[in-house]
Structure 1
Amino acid sequence: MKSYLHQYKFLQDVALASVFAEEIRLLIEKREGIVVPIPMHPDKLLTRTFAQVDELLISAGLPFQHLLVKTETAEQGKKSKKERLEASPLFEVTGKVEAKTYVLFDDIYTTGTTMHHAAKVLKEAGASKIEAITLIKG
């Protein structure tokens, strides 16, 4: 699974999104809430040319809302867990957050820092409950 994800993300094999579609659909349809993809930093989007998390959700035929924007530019994967946890907020809320359940979705879970930061800003903005789903744990 990790090798497929690597090929999908870094070799830009967007067609592989369909390989993950059914699994993602089953994971998310079990949850009730507004799906919020973890966004890429805009600079990274320019180099990668596609938003991999969005494409996974589109391929699975699932509705989602963009409520977050990434503010931190340093790659989380290159930081230690301590550095990740001590980092300034990684996200800002860009949309209206209501007292509802939100389901964060990302492609990979490494230390949980990304999800922690995203959940924190959504809760601070008024979300009543946050759930998190990732395709794989790495």
Structure 2
Amino acid sequence: MKTYLHQYKFLQDVVLSEVFSGEINEALCKVDAILVPIPMNTEKLKQRTFSQVDELLASAGLPFTHLLSKTAQVQGEKSRQERLESTKLFEWNGKPIPDKIILIDDLYATGTTMRHAAKEMKMAGAGEIKLFTLIRA
């Protein structure tokens, strides 16, 4: 999985998004919630030219809605301790908040990213928040 993730994210092998599209679709196609991808840092998005989470969801044929924007430094560039001590990582973008949300990310390392995103969605008015990641580090 480490090799897959590296090739997909850093070598920009976007075709690899199709590898798990069937499993992702099967896991999420019948959920009664809005799929909300974790946004990328703007600079990283410019470098990579695509959002790996958006591409995974699109390859799986699943609709998704952006409700968050990234406000902080890239988590992968921080130590584990720095990630755990991070302050506000996201801001709600002002779009209407559904009652049920599933936050989607490619990698779950310390859980800091998901905790911060869930906290921001809860403060914006979401009722039920679930998490979905492709890889657990």
TM-score when normalising by structure 1: 0.92
Shift of 1:99: 5.2
> Unmatched 5+ residue regions in structure 1?
none
Q: 2:85 maps to what in 1?
A: 86
Q: Aligned partners of 2:19, 2:94: CA distance in 1, in Å?
A: 31
Structure 2 residue runs without a partner (length 5+): none
Q: Which residue of 1 aligns with 2:134?
A: 135
Counterpart code for 2:59: S
Cα deviation, residue 3, structure 1 = 1.5
Percent of aligned pairs with the same amino acid? 59
**Equivalent runs, 1:1-138 vs 2, <5 Å:** 1-73=1-73, 75-98=74-97, 100-138=99-137
Q: Distance in 2 between matches of 1:103 and 1:9?
A: 22
Write the deviation string for residues 85-113 of structure 1: whole angstroms up to 9, x where unpaired.
32121000003343511000000100100
In structure 2, the residue corresponding to 1:53 is in which secondary structure?
Answer: helix
What whole-Å deviation, never above 9, does each CA across 1:60-108 have from its counterpart, x for those lacking one?
Answer: 00000000000002x2123233322321210000033435110000001
After TM superposition, which residue ranges in structure 1, 4 or more long, deviate above 4 angstroms? none
Indicate the larger mover: 121-130 or 88-97: 88-97
Maintained 8 Å contact 2:25/2:61 = yes
Cα contact 1:97–1:127 (8 A) shared by 2: no
Deviation at 1:4, TM superposition (A): 1.3
Indicate conservation of the 8 Å contact 2:34/2:98, yes or no. Answer: no
Check the 8 A contact 1:97/1:122 in 2, yes or no: no
Contact 2:35 2:65 in 1 (8 A): yes
Q: Which amino acid aligns with 1:112?
A: G
Between stretches 118-127 and 90-99, larger displacement belongs to 90-99
